[in-house]
Amino acid sequence: MTTMTEASVREFKMPDVGEGLTEAEILKWYVQPGDTVTDGQVVCEVETAKAAVELPIPYDGVVRALHFPEGTTVDVGTSIIAVDVAGGAGPVAGVPAQAPAQPQASPEEARPKAEATSAGSVKPEAAKPAGSGRQPVLVGYGVAASSTKRRPRKGPEITVPRVPETLQAELNGHGGPAAVRERPLAKPPVRKLAKDLGVDLATVVPSGPDGVITREDVHAAAAPAAVSAPTAPEPAAPAPVTAPAAAPVASYDTARETRIPVKGVRKATAAAMVGSAFTAPHVTEFVTIDVTRTLKLVEELKRDKDMEGLRVNPLLLIAKALLVAVKRHPEINASWDEAAQEIVVKHYVNLGIAAATPRGLLVPNIKDAHAKTLPQLAESLGELVSTAREGRTSPAAMQGGTVTITNVGVFGVDTGTPILNSGESAILAIGAIKLQPWVHKGKVKPRQVTTLALSFDHRLVDGELGSRVLADVAAILEQPKRLITWG
């Protein structure tokens, strides 16, 4: 990987596209070295532990280098693409450069310029014609000195082959005289952390996107041993990606076994399930019910003009039944705060729907589902499922859930013992609906029957509360008119 040293080159780093994510896999590059990009243009698609996300570039320029190939997992904060915001005057990595009229300056010739810049007496753009580039203000941004699109070239640029890390930080707008800012860029939680640790943000070298100071930067500044090592790790980043992959190849028979790297959604799901299963004491209760009347109501709603164009199925009425049960027993809609030793009762319901997708199990949720009418709930449910199956679910859609429904019946399974979604206290599993003999009005008749299973966190949900919630859902599905009388 080539390290760019020109002042006009901006390094775009892997951002944190979700809450607390630490890495992402580059799925696809939409640009190549030499391509012109504009502010807001999508340059790549990455997959995090929660979703596939397209990343836009925050400035105009010409792509100089792609630091990682497709399929590489990259840590948040690592530079992934270099862009020449001055218009691509320098050579492009991976693209042959046109020969200049005179050779590049030697290290001996470049050293005095570097020393002068480090001392603050000479600016990086001093050797360029006036109005030929951008003045570094923030990382990845600049103030255009001219409104013209094509930059006049009056002579070959003098590029510096090697520049000390402290000087490179100045050229990128990270620190030093060239990047004096009245207020360092940092989010409120990071500012609070800096205040608690006694760290002056003005002295912290940022590593986040666009010069934003991260929590790691503050911790590094608080530790004296780490103060001198916050620079970008791009030269060494690709090495650990390929090294571990080669070792297991010789340790097993590839004709008899296949080893799949654990990453992305699978990695996040595994961590969440292990954390939930061994943190929250699970209790699961079951009930088998006659849902014939509910299925008849589904058919009637499909013909209702108010539901025209909407997806109406048993899942819709089961979701509504659970929302009514939560309204009648709000204590089930809660979470356990271990640090504060508190039970947090939510006065809203973000209803999670477990969806099997090509990327693995996702649990997006419908925000404020409790406040939606039946047509609104049907619309939200349809959008949620289709978006998840297309792989377009955003990280925000999978955050903040309070209770969840998982429909294992679509696979022909009678029921299951679902594991709680992390941070929630209850999850309802729906079994397959089958025509079975059932005693109805004193006679054995064929009826549509299913089994429901409710798992709950026994730390905050007692057996009585869990049983009442499950019994209410069952009662509504047996007699759907209770949606009106209880709702």
Q: Is 458 a catalytic residue?
A: yes
What is the spatial distance between Cα 409 and Cα 285, in angstroms, rounded to a whole number? 17
Is the distance from CB of 140 to CB of 209 less than 8 angstroms? yes
DSSP letter assigned to residue 428: E
Residues 6+ apart with CB under 8 A from 98: none
What is the spatial distance between Cα 394 and Cα 377, in angstroms, rounded to a whole number? 19
Q: How far is CA 436 from CA 92, 297, 381, 433, in A?
A: 70, 19, 29, 9
157 HSE (CA, 13 A, CB side): 24
Given 219, 282, 329, 458, which residue is catalytic? Answer: 458
Residues 6+ apart with CB under 8 A from 414: 431, 432, 451
Q: First CA to last CA across the chain, in angstroms?
A: 62
Q: List 407's β-bridge partners, or say none.
A: 430
- Is 148 in a helix, a strand, or coil? coil
Is the distance from CB of 80 to CB of 13 less than 8 angstroms? yes
Q: How far is CA 82 from CA 26, 67, 134, in A?
A: 15, 8, 16
Structure tokens at 323: 């929302």
Structure tokens at 165: 């890390």
What backbone torsions phi and psi does residue 47 show, to the nearest 5 degrees? -115, 120
Rg of the chain taking only CA atoms, in angstroms: 29
What is the spatial distance between Cα 165 and Cα 286, in angstroms, rounded to a whole number? 63
Residues 6+ apart with CB under 8 A from 176: 118, 120, 166, 167, 169, 170
Nearest partner of 65 among 136, 4, 138, judged by Cα:
4
What is the spatial distance between Cα 34 and Cα 293, in angstroms, rounded to a whole number? 64
Is 48 exposed, middle or buried, given 0-12, 13-18 or 19+ CB atoms closer than 10 A?
buried
Nearest partner of 140 among 232, 23, 220, 46, judged by Cα:
232
Is the distance from CB of 28 to CB of 222 less than 8 angstroms? no
Structure tokens at 469: 């919630």
What is the spatial distance between Cα 275 and Cα 271, in angstroms, rounded to a whole number? 6
Q: Which residue numbers are catalytic?
A: 458
